[in-house]
Each structure stands twice: as C-alpha cells, then as structure tokens.
Amino acid sequence: MAAEKISVSLVIVSDRAHTGRRMDETAPALLPLFSESHYRLVTVTVIPDDYEAIRKTLIVLSSQSDLILTSGGTGLSPRDVTPEATEGLAGKPVPGIAEFLRRKSQESTPFAVLSRGTAVVYNQTLIVNLPGSPKGSKDCTEWLLPLIPHAVSQITGKETGGPEH
C-alpha cells in the first residue's frame, strides 16, 4: 500500500501580522521543513489573537489536515489565548508533546517555562501550539517532525511512510 502524505496547516496567531502592521516571519521559517515528499501543505492562515477566531479556524482546518501547527498566542499577555482556544475544542490532550517542547526549548532560553502551548487530538487531527517567535517555532517543529508520522498514523490509521515506529 502506498504511503499517504501528511496534510499540514499552519496557523499564525498574531494581531500585528493579521492587520499588516508586521510581516509574518514564522511561516517562511517553517515552510521549508515541510518540503519533504511525505508532507502536503494545505494552507497558511494568519489570524488575530482572538479566542473565537482561533477556535473556528482550528475546527475548519481539522477537516482538511492531519496536523495543524499554531504559532503565537501562548505567552502570558491578556491577548494570548491560543492554548485556551485549542483546549476548548474538547479534544484528547497530548501533554507529552508540550512538555517535550518546553524541555527542549529550555536548552536555548529560560523563558521557555513561560510558554503555555498545548497539544490535542481533535477530529482526527493533531493540533500543536508553538511559540510565536520564528526561531522558537522552527526549533520546536524540527524537534517534533520525527514524531509526526507515527502520531498521525496512530490518530488516523493512515500509512504515512514516515520513520519506522
């Protein structure tokens, strides 16, 4: 049986990038990581730091994606609500992913412990919150990529063609 490509959506959560006051640098940093033959990019979406906007976007994209990576909105400011919107989907929590990413990120910055990013399975889609910085998002994605084919295979039953598990 031929391996199926893993469909990926990137959601950039940023008021400034959404309104055009700042150019998004995170998506361009992440896109090359998904150029491998077993990934298919569905979309890159830039949305505001808004609970309902995040929630609705995740619901829509979950019907089209095996993996959704969000970037931004995981800090401590009042507008940072990405984890709450993600958890609000009542999906299956996957706490080990967030713990792993925070632990690895601590090797670069002590501020990693302030990240509130989470991971859930919703509608047969793995959703992972990444930090808002381009470097933090890229590093976390690189650490996460070896786990994705196995996780997606478990969630969806697809043969992903990724590394042996």
> In the chain, how many domains are there?
1
Q: Could you tell me if residue 161 is inside a domain?
A: no
Q: Could you tell me if residue 164 is inside a domain?
A: no
Instruction: Give the bridge partners for 7, in sequence order.
Output: 40
- Asked if 47 contacts 16 with a C-beta cutoff of 8 angstroms, the reply is no
At 72, is the secondary structure helix, strand, or coil?
Answer: coil
Residue in the block written with tokens 């992440």: 30
Packing angle between helix 95-105 and helix 134-144, nearest 10 degrees?
120
Q: Could you tell me if residue 112 is inside a domain?
A: yes
Q: Could you tell me if residue 66 is inside a domain?
A: yes
Report residue 78: phi and psi, to 5°. -60, -30
- Provide the CATH number for the domain around residue 26: 3.40.980.10
Neighbours of 91 (CB within 10 A): 20
pLDDT by residue (tens digit) across 113-125?
999 999 999 999 9
pLDDT one digit per residue (tens) for the chain, 165 residues: 568 899 999 999 999 999 999 999 999 999 999 987 889 999 999 999 999 999 999 999 999 999 999 999 999 999 999 999 999 998 899 999 999 999 999 999 999 999 999 999 999 999 999 999 999 999 999 999 999 999 999 999 988 765 544
Q: So what's the pLDDT on residue 66?
A: 98
**C-alpha distances out from residue 105 to 22, 42, 86, 126, 137, Å:** 25, 27, 21, 20, 10
Q: So what's the pLDDT on residue 162?
A: 59
Q: Could you tell me if residue 76 is inside a domain?
A: yes
Q: Could you tell me if residue 162 is inside a domain?
A: no
> Mean of the per-residue pLDDT values for the chain?
94
Q: So what's the pLDDT on residue 37?
A: 80
Domain housing 43:
6-156
Q: Could you tell me if residue 119 is inside a domain?
A: yes
Q: So what's the pLDDT on residue 33?
A: 95
Residue length of the chain: 165
Q: Could you tell me if residue 165 is inside a domain?
A: no
Q: So what's the pLDDT on residue 165?
A: 41
